[in-house]
Amino acid sequence: MMQTDMKKKLLNHPIESLDTKKEVLCSCNATLPESIKIGYRDYKLEAWKQTVATSNEASGQFFIKEGVLGYNQEEKGVSHANTILHEIMHGIIYQWNMELEERAEESIVNSLTNGLTTVFVDNPQLLDYLRLKIKEGG
């Protein structure tokens, strides 16, 4: 599914606010945190200017030693969400010691991230449901 089609699909499934009955895209705190904990370590989220992203030929990058997830600050929407999730997946592979060849890792990360992003776009209520279940604990 093309990115614009995914955006249209997401916009067609708004989450309703119970108080105002207005359509909202997200009932969550829509700010990107300064860092993300993966395993035992916090990774700083670092916005890149377009020139840095272009010189690296990447929308994002995972830096193990520096503890940084870099991302293109100009990327928006579903593509931006996909990039953040993609870099988190690299962090998971590193933290859980999944020793993979570079090409294999990139293929696995791309496939799983693109698949999850598509599932989240095609099922917009799913993230709110998962958030609720996580808060329930246990």
Q: Looking at the domain assignment, is residue 26 inside a domain? A: no
Tell me the pLDDT tens digit for each residue of 48-70. Answer: 886 555 555 678 999 999 999 99
The 3-state DSSP class for residue 31 equals coil
Residue 3 maps to a domain: no
22 in a structural domain: no
- Decide if 86 is inside a domain: yes
**Residue 72 located in a structural domain:** yes
Q: What is the mean pLDDT of the chain?
A: 81
11 assigned to some structural domain = no
Instruction: Summarize pLDDT for 12-22 with one digit per residue, the tens.
Output: 434 333 333 33
Q: Which domain holds residue 87?
A: 31-109
Tell which residue, 66, 54, 115, 58, has the closest CA to residue 87: 58
Give pTM, 2 decimals. 0.75
Sign of CA dihedral 115, 117, 118, 119: positive
**What is the domain count for the chain?**
1
H or E element, residue 45: strand 41-48
H-assigned helices in the chain: 3-11, 50-55, 77-95, 102-122, 125-136
In a domain, 1, yes or no: no
